[in-house]
Structure 1
Amino acid sequence: MTELVLRSKAHWGYDADFIEACREELTLRPADLTPDRVFVAERSGNAVGIAALSRDLPPTGALNLLYVDPSAIGHGVGGRLFAHACAIARAAGFARLTIDADPHAEPFYLSRGAVRIGETPSGSIPGRMLPLLAVDLGDRAPAEP
């Protein structure tokens, strides 16, 4: 799953040094993959996307990650993962999710109802700031596309 995440990140044109600098932060460990908060999209038995919610307690949680394999970008996988994560969060009592977004992914989240609420420092690249977004789940989670 870590390699899927790194391939997805590299899709945006980041060079090998940048991806290597992000490797530690983006490495998924067994403890990160709890079945009640991690969702994997598959196509023909192969993982093509992953999303994960934080282990926070309601009412505010975080979408910790959402990555789609480059072969599946543009085919609705990310939208379905996002909608599913929001629905699960809403059912668990969350009213809001925050998202530390890659700048290239910000338009994706904005198109699904998220709003920019600030910036947050990158966990991998000193001095780099990332868009901090939030999506209010309200009475229903964002719909699948």
Structure 2
Amino acid sequence: MDVRPARRSEAGALTELALDSKAHWGYDAAFLASCREELTLHPADIDRRRTTVAEEAGRVLGFTTLDGAPPEGALGMMFVAPDALGRGIGRLLFEHTMAEARRLGFARLTIDADPNAEPFYLAMGAVRIGATPSGSIPGRELPLLEVVLTSRRPPAGRW
């Protein structure tokens, strides 16, 4: 398994991977259509969002984006192909992205998690800090999670 920066030419395929991954949770066609814009990656997004892919034998099996500027950012997108779930690809991508975030000087990342993915993120060490409105579905709330990447927290009230 290789982890590498995504290529601009992969934006369309990554968008489809994200939608396929979202569909795995049983969401209907109308729900997925509502999510399409939010889950679409454009070629210009690939570098700006620090997109990373996990690839095996020339096939992309998952990807993440690391959004924002240090010291605070977000794990913006993280998706694994449905037929590759349970193989450790999510863990590999998550750990790689956290290491990259630390290297770049991030102290904290937030995650607007799909409710079905929340248990994975909690198992990886994220903590639920609240809820956030869905960017795609009016009235829907998503778990808001946090990963602290430094051993020292800033004074109370900073975050």
Same fold (TM over 0.5): yes
**Greater Cα radius of gyration, structure 1 or 2:** 2
List per-residue Cα deviations over 1:110-138 (Å, max 9, x = no partner): 00100001111001000000000000112
Aligned to 2:15: 2
Q: In the alignment, is the contact (CA less than 8 A) between 2:63 and 2:80 conserved in 1?
A: yes
Name the structure 1 match of 2:87: 75
The reply on whether 1:116 has 2:107 as its aligned counterpart is no
What SS does the corresponding residue of 2:70 show, helix, strand or coil? Answer: coil
SS in 1 for 2:21: helix
Task: Pick from 20, 36, 46 the counterpart of residue 59 of structure 2.
Answer: 46
| Bigger fraction of residues in helix | 2
- Give the alignment partner of residue 24 of structure 1, picking from 18, 29, 37: 37
Alpha-carbon distance between aligned partners in 2 of 1:46 and 1:35, rounded to the nearest angstrom: 23
Match of residue 15, structure 1, among 28, 41, 48: 28
What residue identity is the alignment partner of 2:99?
A
Secondary structure at the residue paired with 1:34?
helix
1:104 to 116, 122, 139: 116
Instruction: Tell me which stretches of 4 or more aligned residues in structure 1 moved more than 6 Å.
Output: none
- Choose the corresponding residue for 1:88, options 78, 94, 100: 100
Structure 1 pair 120–35 and aligned structure 2 pair: CA distance change class (3 A) = closer
Q: RMSD of the TM alignment (CA)?
A: 1.2
TM-score by structure 2 length?
0.84
Aligned length: 138
Ranges in structure 1 where 5+ consecutive residues have no aligned partner: 140-145
Identity %: 62
The amino acid across from 2:83 in the alignment is: S
Give the superposition deviation at 1:100.
0.4
Q: Counterparts of 1:136 and 1:85 in 2: how far apart (Å)? A: 13
Distance 2:34 2:74 in 1: 23
TM-score (norm 1): 0.92
Letter aligned with residue 22 of structure 2: K
